[in-house]
A = this chain, B = another copy of it.
Amino acid sequence: MKKVSAGIDIGGTNTVFGWVESNGDFIWKGKISTTDFEQPEEFVSEVSRQLLDNLGNNEAVGVGIGAPNGNYYNGTIEFAPNLKWKGVVHLKELFNKHFDLPVLVTNDANAAALGEMIYGGAKGVNNFITVTLGTGLGSGIVSNGNLIYGHDAFAGELGHTIVVMDGRECGCGRKGCLETYASATGISKTAFEMTQKDWTSEQVAEAANNGEEWALQAFDKTAKILGFALSNVVAITSPRIIFLFGGLAQAGPLIFDSTRKYMEENLLEIYKNKIQILPSALEGVDAAILGASALVWKEIS
């Protein structure tokens, strides 16, 4: 009998979940379509049924959930624009009908940071930041060994710090947010501005790897803004490592090398040459489940 934690990652399209040991080994994993469920109650019942059917002879210690707009303090999803379920979804309450265990909820980027801390490159590191570069830009900021949740659990919105005055319009209704530049969507937009053609972030990376000047410049511009924003967040939380995670981080040296360069250029002297920018050690399909399950190990450790 092994002790296992459930990790559930709720995405706009699919939900992946599984049972995970404290060393990161999977006992079982599954997947369902999030959009198949009109009501969160049916969704929670189905995920719970599958998890319980596949627990086997193991001992469940808790349920961790990563979700868009997941609120750690309330155990809820609150007004997630990419989900069918509107308003406030009382996720913890719903799961507790199926599991008499701790149920913990947080957002995707915080879950990624916890995954890094429990299973990945941040083991034993008390001060670090995980930046997720996907459609948007998320962040999980760890200080003194704990996530910074703030007074309302909404801390860590690095993607919505304003980095360019009167800059690009953001989905949040404001202008110049970091995520409008430093994200898969952001680099596509930059590439469009340079070429008047549509490109995915992967296509920009491919063109840059083939030495095309416009694509190299698009990466340089992205890294310049990201490096600048990171230099400011360093002055606030002074991390030892910054992990870049998600789609755009797959571009490897294209994004890492110049982000490092621009961050260092902008850093206050006392922080120079101290901070690593590293790829996540958990990159891949299971990272989201691992991150969600890490919530439990972090809480009960």
A residues contacting B by CB (< 8 A) are: 125-127, 141, 143-144, 146, 148-158, 160-162, 172-174, 228, 231-233, 235-240, 266, 268-271, 274
A150 and B237 contact, Cβ closer than 8 Å, known pairs A160-B268, A172-B269, A266-B174: yes
- Compute how far the CA of A144 lies from the CA of B237 in the bound complex, rounded to whole angstroms: 14
How many Å from the CB of A201 to the closest CB on chain B? Answer: 24
Cβ distance A250 to chain B, nearest Cβ, rounded Å: 25
Nearest-Cβ distance from residue A108 to partner chain B, whole angstroms: 16
In the complex, the answer to whether A161 meets B236 with C-beta atoms within 8 Å is: yes
A39 vs B194: C-alpha distance in the bound complex, in angstroms? Answer: 60
Q: Once the chains are docked, how many angstroms separate the CA of A231 from the CA of B174?
A: 12
- Smallest Cβ-Cβ distance to A177: which chain B residue: B268
When distances are taken between beta carbons in the complex, the residues of chain B under 8 Å from A236 are 141, 148, 155-158, 161, 233, 236-237
Closest 5 A-B residue pairs measured CB to CB?
Answer: A150-B238, A155-B238, A151-B240, A127-B151, A157-B235
User: Can you give 10 A-B contacts (C-beta < 8 A)?
Assistant: A125-B151, A127-B149, A143-B150, A152-B274, A155-B238, A161-B232, A161-B235, A162-B232, A232-B232, A233-B236
